Structure 1
Amino acid sequence: MTSKTIAAALATALLAMPAAAKDPPPTLTKCQASLGTVAVVDGDTQGWTKFGLGSPRPLLAALANESDCFAIHDPASGKPANFLMSAIAGSQEDIDKGVEVAKSVATEALVRSGALGRVPGVGGMMGMFGGFGGKKKTIAAAIRVMSPATGMALASGSGSSQSSSVTLGGMAGVAAGMAQAGYASKDGQMLTEAFIKAFNAVVAQGSALQAGAQASMMQVAASAPAVAPGATVAVDTSMRATPAMDGAVVRTLRAGTSLKPTGKREGKFVELADSFGTSGWVNVEDLK
C-alpha cells in the first residue's frame, strides 16, 4: 500500500471510531500566524519503542504544518531554526519527570531574562506543563521546545490517552504523518492522541515561547564565541546542557553528525553547536 492509501485508511478508520464517553476527541489547535521555524528531533526518553512504534518526528512535523503554528526548518536556508522541538514518550512517571525538569528550566530562563513579567498569564501557562499523574495505565507523551541558540527549554506540554478517540476529519496532513511514522495500530493511534494534546499545550504558551526565543537571541548576541574547525560524532551519544555526564540531555546525537566547537571546554567536555544552531556539551571521547 502507498503512504497516501495508508493515510486515507487511517482517516477513515479513526473517523468511524466512537468518541470516548467522558472526554470529547481532541482537536488540533490552529494558529493565525506562525510562531517561527522549528526543527524536530527525538528526545532522550524514546518510549514509543515499547509499543513497537517508530520515531514520531513525521507526526510532529505534520502537526506543526497542519496547525500553521510552526514552519518546518529548512537546513538549506543557511539560517538556524527559531525553535528545537523534542518528542518524548514512556511511562507516566518518565513523562511527569521530563516535563517537571523542563518547567523548572523554562521558568528560571524567563526570570533571568526579565521576560517573565512581560508575558501575560505566564503563571497559568506554566500549569500546562503537566500534572496528570495517576495509577491507571495510560500511553503518555510530551513535547519540549528549546532554544537552538542556548539549548534552554522554553516550553513543554504533555498529554495522555487511555483509549483512542482521535478523529482526523480535515487533517489529511496528520493522517499522512501517522502513516509515515507507522502509527496505524491502536497504540499508535493512542500515542497520536497524546501528542496532539501535548502539542496543543505547547501552542497555548506561544507568548512565553516568543519571549524566551528573543531572550536567547539577545544572550547569544551579547557574547558570540569564535567558531573553531568542525568536529564529528564518533558514536551515538548525547549533547548535554552542562559539562557533566549527568547533565540534562539537550538532544541525542548519531554517529557521523557534524558539529562546530564554540571554543569553550570544561574538563573532558567541549561545547558544540549543530547545523540548527543548538549548542551543548559533548564528551571529547565521543568525538573524532
Structure 2
Amino acid sequence: MKPQSLATLAFALCAGASLVSHPAHAQSAQAQRAQKTAEIPTCSRSLGTLAVLEPETNWWSSYQLSSPAALIKVFVSKSRCFTLVDRGKGMAAMQSERALASDGDLRGGSNLGKGQIKAADYALVPDLISQNANASGNNFGGLLGGLVGGRAGAVIGGVNLKKKTADVVLTVTDMRSSEQVAMSEGHATKTDLGWSGGGAIWAGGLAAGGASGYSNTEVGQVITLAYLQAYTDLVGQLGGMPANASAANVQQAVTMNKPGRLFTSPDGKTATRPLDAGAMLYPTGAKQGQMWEVEDELGNKGWVSSLLFGLSR
C-alpha cells in the first residue's frame, strides 16, 4: 500500500475512534449520575426527628442558589433516616393558624391547639467549611457572569471558583442536651460530576424539594456532591443512636410547687431533708406510683411525691 494510502487509512481510523468515543463518554456520564443518585444512603428505621436549619451566613445567594437546607431536606426525605419537622416557613404558617384558633376565628372541631407539635430530637445545620473571600480566581465556567468572578469572591465560604471545588460541613446537635453529636465534612470537584458538556443530577427530586439550582448549574452540582458525601458520612456516624432519643436523654428537671420532703425510699417513711417551694430537682427516671426518685442541686438523692412539683420551664 502506498504511503499516501496508509496516511489516509490512519486518519479514517482516528476519526472513527473519535466518533465512537463521544457516545461512550456520554454514556459514562449518565452512568455516573445514575450511580450518584443511588449513593444516597437509606435507613431501615428512623434515627429520630430532625429540624434542618439555615446557616447564619447567607452565602448561597451569591451563587443564585436556594438555601442548602432545601437540599439537605431532599436527602433526608429520600434516605428515610429521619422524620423531618419544619422550623422554617411551615412553622411560621402553623403559628399563624394557631393564632386564628386562639382568637376563636376557626370553626369548631378544628382540633388545632397546644400540645400537638412534634419535638425535634436533633438540629442539622449545613454550612461551608471556610468563610474566606480574599483569594483570587476566575468565574466558574462563566456561570455567574459578572456577579461573582475575577478577584471579587473567587473563594466564598469553601467554594473555590478557580479550582471548581466545594468544601462543606454538616453539624448535628442534640436538642435536649445541646451536645454536638456529629460533624461531617464533604469535598467535591467538577471532575466528580462525569459531565460531557452539561447535564443535571437528581433534577426531578431537587426541583420538587425547592433546590432546583443545585441540579441544573455546575456550581450547584459540585456543592450537591460535597453535601451528599458529608450526609453519607453523617448517617454512618449516627447509626448507633438510640431508637428513642427522648427516653435516652436525662429526664426534664422539675420544680417544687409546694414545700415537701425528700425521703430515703418510695414508702415515704423516712425523710432526709426538707424541700422548699421553688427548689429544682432532677428525676433519675425511677418511679413507684406517685413517688419519683430525684436528685437535688447538692447531689442528694431521694424520693418525693410528684403531686408537689411540676415540670421546670
- Shorter-normalised TM range: 0.3 to 0.5
Higher-helix-fraction structure: 1
Bigger relative contact order, structure 1 or 2 (CA pairs below 8 A, ≥6 apart): 1
Of structures 1 and 2, the larger Rg is shown by 2
TM superposition score normalised by structure 1? 0.47
TM superposition score normalised by structure 2? 0.44
